[in-house]
Amino acid sequence: MFLHKAILPLRALYPDFVWRKPTSENVIYLTFDDGPIPDVTDWVLEQLAAHRAKATFFCIGDNVAKHPDVFQRVRAAGHAVGNHTFSHLNGWKTDDATYFDNIAQCQRVLPPTRLFRPPYGRITRSQAKVVGQSREIVMWDVLSGDFSPDLTPEVVLQKTLKYTEPGSILLFHDSLKARRNMAYALPRVLDHFGERGFRFDALPMS
């Protein structure tokens, strides 16, 4: 089980994390975790281009190293990128020194960026205290749930449309596991909000 909407008590526990971007404008911040990989990330880029949408890709460093051509296409399209560790580490199960080294390893294959998202959303307070000194720890306002095999594509879309609002940071995954649900929901989300006058912006990297 997980929460599609990041509720206020959860956000209050970690007030220094970025959960959403309060705004009076009709803007949504699409984010994608776990790429870049061939085919899936390329398909996402095609969808974003068709809707003139910008997004933020929280990249696994190992995938960037393995697929530099796909990563360059993300950057060439004008999207932002953030650090998602080199090996997709769960901070709750990783000692601090290893965690920090893995973030640094990821950063070596990325352009300068302050954006960091902990894999699984799991980071200890001691890790967050250090990481937050030099990086913006970005969580999410709306979790699509595209990664869950227990959810149908229709439910992923329904929940995403229900909870997304101006300033939402919306999380999808450009991964093989999420592909089925994400491929159904993403174009429909882009259509739905585009028809209602929303724009999709990338998060600032600096």
Which CA distances in Å does 180 have to 34, 38, 77, 154, 186?
Answer: 15, 15, 24, 11, 10
Query: pLDDT, tens digit, for every residue of 55-114?
Result: 999 999 999 999 999 999 999 999 999 999 999 999 999 999 999 999 999 999 999 999
| Whether residue 51 lies in the annotated active site | no
Which of these is catalytic: 51, 67, 173, 201? 173
Q: What is the DSSP letter of 55?
A: E
- 3-class DSSP state for residue 53? coil
Give the separation between CA 50 and CA 191, rounded to whole angstroms: 10
| Whether residue 96 lies in the annotated active site | no
**Average per-residue pLDDT in the chain?**
96
Q: Are 174 and 203 in contact (CB under 8 A)?
A: no
pLDDT of amino acid 1: 64
Which residues on adjacent β-strands are paired with residue 55? 30
Percentage of the chain exceeding pLDDT 70 = 100
Which of these is catalytic: 33, 34, 141, 146? 33
Weakly modelled stretches of the chain, pLDDT under 50: none
Domains of the chain, earliest start first: 8-200 (3.20.20.370)
pLDDT of amino acid 2: 73
